[in-house]
Each structure stands twice: as structure tokens, then as C-alpha cells.
């Protein structure tokens, strides 16, 4: 076959369709060049080594020249003239020699090189191979420590060559974890063939570790033990399917923990056929699984997207069981009315609380956004709520919450416990300042599971009749400054405060490209995505956290795959429709006010914005940075409004209603942060215009 024409055909198609780097794998230089001439991004070449030496015309020479010419990265295997490197010292020596040649002779950067220290089979039973796992792990650690800037990669599955598929999956997963702990950056492996450690039987995990670290002893050989453990075993479609010998209630709880719906209905049917009542399955089995999920989330062992995966499984299980419940059984543990308060449209936090409470046995009445106190009270009375939950992101929303608490007092409804949550709140403000206002029980919810724990305690008190007068009423004595962000001054000048701060007024005035407003549409999604705040998206919106030993750069590299996937889905479905309304307007300052004129004649005021002034030196106010009206100079102010359109909001609502919680979380967070990115992107455009 003609390798060049074949590669040209393949590369020309893939280069326009792939959103990730392409790896070009061939032993022939002309074939590799054919691919590189089509690939516009940064490809990876697989691979080079020192088996043939480093003379002109060798594979190492040809590939490194191509890498330099086309800006490619290169996989470098730890092989030299003596063969495959077996010991950590040998692996490091081979890697260092290749690094020195690539950087010193060909001008590549260390960051262009990915070293594969080679995983060798642990399944042969031969004495000379028993230490291969240790040497590979130590080789990774030393390459990362002694060759700054380079990355590591590993063809993982070779470590389990010769074992049956079930044993290979477990050994590969355990070995991968150990390699990552040592500093491995990437692995060549089928992602679906890797199991999280928490889903691997503890005994199997220990035996694999004993094999990797050669922990033999008299009468104990971990290789023989592993073969015995997996004799006749097959790879199952899902983690819970590996536990068919478990009692059905234990299997069901594990399905909730793993977020695994494959085979869920069969297990539920088996449980019902065995005589278990539907309500008992929910309360005694499924909720026990959700309890473990909550504990793992609290400890940081489980991250939010996987919590939602468990919640989806819980929802599906309850939906299957509902026809088997008596009507009186379906009241749940208690009822909670949730709402985002008046004037606030932010609902992601409230909806996550809804998901967690609902899937832990509570009835939730979710009133939505911009809900006034009258509607809240009416719903609480209609549904005989055990508690009211108020949410809000805006600082102003905390003022609304305070007003709502006063209203509940005035209507003699302080017997209803209230839970408050939202980004603008702090525990101190709720447990000290607002508990001083509310006459009933009042709680701060830092996250969804704190709200769940609070509700569980409230329901327990109601069920047992126990009296715990301090619960939700004890006023915090935290030693923090008394004035909160809410206690802003009323605008009355303090002694010595000037009408205008001493801000330079001799800088050149800008001339806007136009006066008035315009609308921009058709803005490329990829250009906007360049301005995404990845910390806000990955941590705040999506709830991911760095794993043990993972620095910020490694954390972001790991989660970028999810971003690419979600952005690709949104683009394919045309869910993100960015548009901007922006303009430049005649403006002048009057004290703390910024006056916007109807036109450039500046004879008729259109509107004004009043800004707060600092209460101490240097007494700054936003209006100080515009020419004052009495200066005789005409200034301008620029404004913009941005949106990612209605489609993304409509789709998130559909996902939430369909109990597709993980997809809801991802799309909602992406939409929010893309709107923020669009604002930053257009802000830059305006600055460039000026």
C-alpha cells in the first residue's frame, strides 16, 4: 500500500474534524511528513528512541527534524543501543540522552518531549521481571524530577499482558493510580477499561499492589493470588455488575454510590420479588447509598459531577418504585419550600439543593426565581412545610432575606425553620446578625449536604419530640468586624470629604468611533471561549477539585477534556447565541453622579448614575474619572449588555426537568461563564476601538 497517499487521505479528513491534537504514528519519515503538511494545530509524533543511534538518516534524526520544522511534540521511548531500559537508572539515562540531543542539537524545547519509560509485563512470573513495576514507577518519578519541563506518557496495558480481561482491567487501574502518584502526565489506554479505585474490591486492589511492588513472602505469591482471584471472571459492563454474589440490597446501595444505572431495574425487581417493600428499599437501601455519597463529597473524595450522577440514579430508582408504593408512603421524610428571593435570577445553587434533598427522601416545592415573601409563605402554608429555604447570589438578596425574616416574625410564622444559602452570605452574618433578627430557627447552608444534614436534624427533632432550644437559635460570637457589606453608608458626606477627589483631569479625552448604540451578532464561539475564566468554571460552576498532589495547571489540563466535550455539544446543538448591545454616550460628572446626556449638545439630561464615595482618603468615586460638567469639556461613557441567548437557558431547564442533573450542571455553568467571557471579550473590543 502507498503509505503517503493513505496518510494524506486520513490526515486531510481528521484535521478539520478533531478538536484535540492528532498523534501521527509511522516508522517512515515521508508518511509522517504527509500528515504534518495537513495538520494545522500542534501534532504529536510517535515515536523516537536511540535503538539505531543518532546518526543522520536514523529515525531519531528524521523525526526530530520534522518536529522542529512543523512545531510538533514527540513521544520518546526509553530505548537505547542496549535495548529497552529495565531499571529506573537506565530509563533516566536513556531519557536524558534523548533530551540532550533533541534540545541541544535540534533546538526543541523540553516541553516538546513526552517520555515513555515503558511498562513491561508483570504476568510472566520470571524472576527478572518481578521488579519491573517498581522500576517503571521510580523511572517516572526520576524523569519528572531530573529533567525539568518534559512530560511523561505510558503505554499502560502492557503491564498486564497475558492475564484475562477482568484481571487486566483491575491491574491496569491500580498500576495507573500508582504511576500518576509518581508524576505520570498521560497514559495510552482505553478510558472505559479503567476503574476508579473506589470501585475495585479491596482484596483485589491489595493483591495488585503486592504484585506491582513485588511483596512476595513465604507461601504467598501475589501473581498466583491474582490468577486465582480472577479465574473464570469476565469484565462486566458496569461496576455493580461485578458484585452479583452480593445481596441485592447491597448491590443497590453500591449502584447509587457508583451512579450506575445499568441493570438497576433488574435489581429493583429482584428486591421487590424477594418481599422487600418499595418504601423500605428507598429508606433502608437507596438512602444509605446516598448517605455514603454525602460523606464522600464532604471529605473531598467525590466531586460534584459524580454526586449528581448518583442523584440521577437515585431518581431513576425512585421513579421505578413509585407504582409499587401506597399513596400514603410517598410523603417523604419532610417538605421543604425553596426559592430564589425577589429580584434575583440565580438558581443553580437552589436547584442543586433541590436535587440533593429530593434524592434523600424529601418533598421539595421549588418555586423558582424572583419569588416574593407572600408567595413563599403561601406555599409553606399550603404544603405544611417543615422548612423554608431562601437562596440568592446578589448582595442585595441578603437584604431581601433580612426583610423576609422580619415579615415572618410580623406574621407570627417564626415557628417555621429557615435555611439561607448563596454566594453573598457568610456563616457569621447568618448565625450572628440574622439570628439576632429572626425569632425562630435559622441556618446557614454552605453547600447542598449541609442543608441536608440540617433538615435531617430538624425532622428528627419533630419525630422524637426532643427539645434542642439552641439548635438554629444560638447566636455566633465570632470575632469579626461588626459592620458587614450590607451596612453601607447612606451617602451623607463625612467630615472632610470633598465633592470631588484629586484625580488628574489633564489626560486626553477619547473620541468615540460613534455616538449612540449598536448591536453585534454572529460572534465566533471559539473566540469568546478564549476568555473563559477556567478557575470560575471548573471549581465554582462545575464543582471539580484538584486531586491529591495535583497542582493548578495539572488540574486544569485534566478538566479541559470536559470543557471541550461540553463546548462541542453546545456548538453542535446551536445552544450558544451570543449578541452584544453596546455604545458610546455623551457624559459628564456632577459630584458623585455620572450624567448621561441625550446627545452631544449636552443640553438635555437623559439619566444619571449615583456612585458611592470612599469614606476616607483618597475619597475616590467612579464619577471622578469623568470630566466635570462645570469644566466645559465634553466627556463620553461606554456601556454594553451581553447575552448568550435564550436557547441555553431553555435547554438547562429541560435537562433539570428530565432529571439529567450532571448535564444540567455542565451546561448551566458553561452558559454562565461564556456570558462572562463575552463581557470580557467585548470589553477588550471597546478598549481597542478607543
Q: What is the CATH number of the domain that holds 458?
A: 3.40.50.280
Distinct helix (H) and strand (E) counts, the chain:
23, 18
With a cut of 90, say whether residue 454 has pLDDT above it: yes
With a cut of 80, say whether residue 54 has pLDDT above it: yes
What would the pLDDT profile of 220-252 be if each residue is shown by its tens digit? 999 999 988 888 776 653 344 456 778 999 999
The model's confidence at residue 163, banded by pLDDT at 50, 70 and 90, is: confident
Indicate whether 431 and 543 sit together in one domain: no
The model's confidence at residue 112, banded by pLDDT at 50, 70 and 90, is: very high
Which H or E run contains 49? none
Highest mean pLDDT among 295-309, 347-361, 387-401, 580-594: 580-594
* Structure confidence at residue 240 (pLDDT): 41
DSSP label at 510? P
Looking at the DSSP bridge assignments, the partners of residue 220 are 217
Considering the chain, what percentage of its residues have pLDDT values greater than 90? 53
Indicate whether 21 and 163 sit together in one domain: yes
CA distance 679 to 685: 10
Q: Measure Cα distances from 64 to 79, 83, 101, 115 in Å.
A: 16, 20, 9, 14
With a cut of 90, say whether residue 208 has pLDDT above it: yes
Indicate whether 339 and 460 sit together in one domain: yes
* Structure confidence at residue 242 (pLDDT): 53
Q: Is residue 503 part of a domain?
A: no
| Residue 350 contacts residue 366 (beta carbons within 8 Å) | yes
Indicate whether 126 and 269 sit together in one domain: no
* Structure confidence at residue 17 (pLDDT): 75
Closest CA to 538 of 517, 514, 558: 558
* Structure confidence at residue 300 (pLDDT): 67
The model's confidence at residue 144, banded by pLDDT at 50, 70 and 90, is: very high
The mean-pLDDT minimum among 82-86, 184-188, 353-357 falls in 353-357
* Structure confidence at residue 12 (pLDDT): 87
Indicate whether 132 and 275 sit together in one domain: no
Residues 6+ apart with CB under 8 A from 226: 163, 167, 171, 204, 207, 208, 211
CA distance 123 to 208: 11
With a cut of 70, say whether residue 453 has pLDDT above it: yes
With a cut of 90, say whether residue 584 has pLDDT above it: yes
DSSP label at 402? H
SS (H, E, C) 340-359: EECCCCCCHHHHHHHHHHHC
Q: Is residue 279 part of a domain?
A: yes
Residues 6+ apart with CB under 8 A from 559: 534, 538, 542, 544
Q: Count up the domains in the chain and report the number.
A: 4
Q: Which residue has the higher pLDDT, 525 or 484?
A: 525
* Domain enclosing residue 523, as ranges: 516-689
Q: Where are the alpha helices (DSSP H) in 47-128?
A: 59-70, 88-104
With a cut of 70, say whether residue 327 has pLDDT above it: no
Helix (H, G, I), strand (E, B) or coil at 482: coil
Residue 291 sits at the vertex; the CA angle it makes with 288 and 296, to the nearest 5 degrees, is: 135
The chain-wide mean pLDDT, for the chain, equals 88
Indicate whether 287 and 200 sit together in one domain: no
Indicate whether 52 and 120 sit together in one domain: yes
Highest mean pLDDT among 165-169, 302-306, 528-532, 661-665: 528-532
Q: Is residue 475 part of a domain?
A: no
Instruction: State the CATH number of the domain containing residue 223.
Output: 3.20.20.20
Pairing relationship of beta strands 113-116 and 73-77 according to DSSP bridges: parallel
Q: Is residue 112 part of a domain?
A: yes
Question: Which of 324, 358, 382 is where one domain is finished?
Answer: 324
Q: Is residue 470 part of a domain?
A: no
Q: Which residue has the higher pLDDT, 648 or 351?
A: 648
What would the pLDDT profile of 598-621 be if each residue is shown by its tens digit? 999 999 999 999 998 888 888 899
| Residue 419 contacts residue 443 (beta carbons within 8 Å) | yes
Looking at the DSSP bridge assignments, the partners of residue 608 are 595
Q: Work out the number of other CB atoms within 10 angstroms of the CB of residue 647.
A: 15
What would the pLDDT profile of 6-33 be if each residue is shown by its tens digit? 999 898 888 877 778 899 998 889 999 9
Q: Is residue 481 part of a domain?
A: no
Residues 6+ apart with CB under 8 A from 385: 335, 336, 337, 365, 379, 416
With a cut of 90, say whether residue 643 has pLDDT above it: yes
Indicate whether 424 and 557 sit together in one domain: no
Instruction: Please compute, for residue 184, the number of CA atoms within 13 A of its CA located in the half-sphere on the CB side.
Output: 22
Instruction: State the CATH number of the domain containing residue 563.
Output: 3.40.109.40
Question: Which of 229, 252, 282 is where one domain is finished?
Answer: 229
Indicate whether 414 and 558 sit together in one domain: no
Indicate whether 72 and 119 sit together in one domain: yes
Q: Work out the number of other CB atoms within 10 angstroms of the CB of residue 400.
A: 20
| Residue 22 contacts residue 11 (beta carbons within 8 Å) | yes
What would the pLDDT profile of 405-437 be if each residue is shown by its tens digit? 999 999 999 999 999 998 778 898 899 989 999
Pairing relationship of beta strands 605-610 and 593-597 according to DSSP bridges: antiparallel
Indicate whether 181 and 93 sit together in one domain: yes
Closest CA to 119 of 144, 151, 153: 153
C-alpha cell recorded at residue 358: 429530593
The mean-pLDDT minimum among 101-105, 433-437, 447-451, 679-683 falls in 447-451
Sheet holding 73-77, edge to edge: 23-25, 44-48, 73-77, 113-116, 151-155, 186-188
Indicate whether 416 and 552 sit together in one domain: no
Query: 47 preceded by cis ω (within 30°)?
Result: yes
With a cut of 50, say whether residue 55 has pLDDT above it: yes
* Structure confidence at residue 423 (pLDDT): 78
Q: Is residue 487 part of a domain?
A: no
Q: Measure Cα distances from 183 to 86, 138, 178, 299, 550 in Å.
A: 19, 10, 9, 23, 9
Question: Which of 303, 324, 345 is where one domain is finished?
Answer: 324
* Structure confidence at residue 483 (pLDDT): 42
* Structure confidence at residue 481 (pLDDT): 42
CA distance 650 to 573: 12
Q: Is residue 479 part of a domain?
A: no
SS (H, E, C) 319-334: HHHHHHCCHHHHHCCC
pTM for this predicted structure: 0.49
| Residue 528 contacts residue 677 (beta carbons within 8 Å) | yes
Report the sign of the C-alpha dihedral through residues 116, 117, 123, 124, in that order.
positive
CA distance 247 to 267: 10
Considering the chain, what percentage of its residues have pLDDT values greater than 70? 94
What value does the mean pLDDT take over residues 540-568?
Answer: 87
Amino acid at each position: 500500500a502507498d503509505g503517503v497517499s493513505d496518510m494524506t487521505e486520513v490526515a486531510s479528513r481528521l484535521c478539520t474534524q478533531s478538536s484535540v491534537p492528532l498523534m501521527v504514528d509511522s516508522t517512515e519519515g515521508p508518511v509522517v511528513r504527509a500528515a504534518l503538511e495537513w495538520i494545522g494545530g500542534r501534532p504529536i509524533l510517535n515515536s523516537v528512541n536511540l535503538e539505531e543511534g543518532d546518526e543522520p538518516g536514523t529515525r531519531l534524526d528524521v523525526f526530530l527534524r520534522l518536529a522542529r520544522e512543523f512545531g510538533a511534540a514527540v513521544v520518546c521511548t526509553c530505548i537505547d543501543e542496549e535495548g529497552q531500559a529495565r531499571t529506573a537508572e537506565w530509563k533516566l539515562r536513556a531519557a536524558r540522552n534523548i533530551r540532550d540531543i533533541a534540545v541541544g542539537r535540534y533546538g526543541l524545547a523540553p516541553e516538546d518531549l513526552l517520555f515513555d519509560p515503558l511498562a513491561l509485563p508483570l504476568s510472566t512470573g520470571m524472576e527478572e521481571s518481578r521488579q519491573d513495576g517498581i522500576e517503571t514507577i521510580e523511572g517516572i518519578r526520576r524523569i519528572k524530577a531530573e529533567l525539568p519541563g518534559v512530560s511523561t506518557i505510558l503505554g499502560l496495558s502492557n503491564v498486564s499482558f497475558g492475564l484475562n480481561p477482568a484481571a487486566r482491567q483491575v491491574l491496569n487501574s491500580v498500576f495507573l493510580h500508582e504511576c500518576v502518584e509518581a508524576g505520570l502526565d498521560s497514559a495510552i489506554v482505553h478510558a472505559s477499561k479503567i476503574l476508579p479505585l473506589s470501585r475495585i474490591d479491596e482484596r483485589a486492589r491489595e493483591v495488585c499492589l503486592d504484585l506491582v511492588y513485588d511483596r512476595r513472602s513465604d507461601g504467598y505469591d501475589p501473581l498466583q493470588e491474582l490468577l486465582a482471584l480472577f479465574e473464570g471472571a469476565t469484565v462486566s459492563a458496569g461496576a455493580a455488575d461485578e458484585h452479583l454474589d452480593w445481596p441485592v440490597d447491597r448491590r443497590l446501595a453500591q449502584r447509587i454510590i457508583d451512579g450506575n444505572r445499568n441493570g438497576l431495574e433488574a435489581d429493583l425487581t429482584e428486591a421487590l420479588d424477594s418481599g422487600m417493600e418499595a418504601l423500605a428499599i428507598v429508606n433502608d437501601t437507596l438512602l444509605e447509598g446516598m448517605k455514603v455519597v454525602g460523606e464522600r463529597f464532604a471529605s473531598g473524595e467525590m466531586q460534584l459531577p459524580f454526586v449528581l450522577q448518583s442523584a440521577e440514579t437515585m431518581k431513576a430508582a425512585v421513579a421505578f418504585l413509585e407504582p409499587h408504593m401506597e399513596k400514603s408512603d410517598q410523603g417523604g421524610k419532610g417538605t421543604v419550600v425553596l426559592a430564589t428571593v425577589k429580584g434575583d435570577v440565580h438558581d443553580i445553587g437552589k436547584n442543586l439543593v433541590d436535587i440533593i434533598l429530593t434524592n434523600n427522601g424529601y418533598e421539595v416545592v421549588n418555586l423558582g426565581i424572583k419569588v416574593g415573601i407572600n408567595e413563599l409563605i403561601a406555599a409553606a402554608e399550603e404544603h405544611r412545610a417543615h422548612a423554608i429555604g431562601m437562596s440568592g447570589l446578589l448582595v442585595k438578596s441578603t437584604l431581601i432575606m433580612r426583610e423576609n425574616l422580619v415579615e415572618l416574625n410580623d406574621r407570627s410564622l417564626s415557628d417555621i425553620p429557615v435555611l439561607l444559602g448563596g454566594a453573598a452570605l457568610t456563616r457569621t452574618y447568618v448565625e450572628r446578625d440574622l439570628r439576632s433578627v429572626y425569632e425562630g430557627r435559622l441556618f446557614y447552608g454552605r453547600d447542598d449536604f449541609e442543608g441536608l444534614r440540617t433538615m435531617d436534624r430538624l425532622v428528627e427533632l419533630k419525630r422524637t419530640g426532643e427539645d434542642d432550644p439552641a439548635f438554629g437559635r444560638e447566636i455566633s460570637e465570632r470575632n469579626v468586624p461588626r459592620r458587614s457589606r450590607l451596612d453601607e453608608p447612606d451617602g451623607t458626606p463625612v467630615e472632610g470629604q470633598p465633592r470631588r477627589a484629586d484625580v488628574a483631569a489633564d489626560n486626553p479625552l477619547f473620541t468615540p468611533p460613534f455616538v449612540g448604540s449598536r448591536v453585534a451578532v454572529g460572534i465566533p464561539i471559539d473566540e469568546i471561549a478564549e476568555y473563559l475564566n477556567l478557575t470560575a468554571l471548573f471549581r465554582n460552576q462545575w464543582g471539580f477539585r484538584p486531586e491529591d498532589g495535583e497542582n493548578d495547571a495539572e488540574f486544569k489540563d485534566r478538566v479541559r477534556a470536559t470543557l471541550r466535550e461540553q463546548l462541542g455539544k453546545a456548538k453542535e446543538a446551536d445552544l450558544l447565541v451570543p449578541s452584544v448591545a453596546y455604545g458610546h454616550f455623551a457624559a459628564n460628572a456632577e459630584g458623585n453622579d455620572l450624567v448621561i446626556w441625550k446627545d452631544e449638545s449636552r443640553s438635555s439630561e437623559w439619566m444619571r448614575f449615583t456612585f458611592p464615595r470612599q469614606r476616607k482618603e483618597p475619597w475616590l468615586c467612579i464619577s471622578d474619572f469623568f470630566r466635570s460638567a462645570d469644566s466645559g469639556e465634553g466627556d463620553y461613557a461606554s456601556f454594553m449588555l451581553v447575552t448568550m441567548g435564550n436557547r441555553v437557558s431553555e435547554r438547562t431547564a429541560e435537562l433539570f426537568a428530565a432529571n439529567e442533573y450532571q448535564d444540567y450542571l455542565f451546561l448551566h455553568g458553561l452558559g454562565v461563564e461564556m456570558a462572562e467571557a463575552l463581557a470580557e471579550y467585548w470589553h477588550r473590543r471597546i478598549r481597542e476601538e478607543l
